[in-house]
Each structure stands twice: as structure tokens, then as C-alpha cells.
Amino acid sequence: MDASSAALLGMGLAAAGFAGAGVGIGYIFGKMIEAVARQPEAEARVAKYMWIGFALVEAIALYGIVIAFIIMGLRGK
């Protein structure tokens, strides 16, 4: 395997982090709906933690795309 094909493989693996982020975001919002359905009065308190969790999971997806772009930039040299 030459360096160019290894770079393409690395870009694909780095972008695969989007699948995990999608699952994580779906899980977070699903559990939020479940928590509010069980205890509606706790919505404001739970929503705060939901948005923090959403931001952290979304940051992982952004790290994946940054790594893919870095590999793509190195591949051109």
C-alpha cells in the first residue's frame, strides 16, 4: 500500500467519527425526551445538561473532520 492510498484510508477512518456522533446525538435527545416524559417539572434542569452533552458530542465530530482535512492537506504535498 502506497502513501496515497493510506492517506485516503486515514481520511475515511477519521470521517467515520460522524457515525458515532450521530448515534450519540440521537441517544442524548432520546434520553432527554424520556426524562421529560417521566418528570416534566425537571425539564429546565435536564435541558441544560442535554445541551452541554450535545456540544461535547458535536465537538468530537468536528475533530474528526479537522483530522480528515489535515490528512487531505498532507496528501497533496
- Per this entry, what is the length of the chain? 77
The full set of domains in the chain, from first to last, is 17-75 (1.20.20.10)
d(CA 9, CA 71): 10
Count the neighbouring beta carbons within 10 Å of the beta carbon of residue 30. 10
Tens digit of each residue's pLDDT (9 = 90 or more) over 29-65: 999 999 999 999 999 999 999 999 999 999 988 988 8
Q: Quick one: pLDDT at residue 70?
A: 86
Tens digit of each residue's pLDDT (9 = 90 or more) over 22-32: 999 999 999 99
The C-alpha cell 458515532 sits at 20
Can you give the pTM of this predicted structure? 0.76
Q: What's at 52, amino acid-wise? A: I
The C-alpha cell 445541551 sits at 51
C-alpha cell read off for 33: 425526551
d(CA 62, CA 18): 8
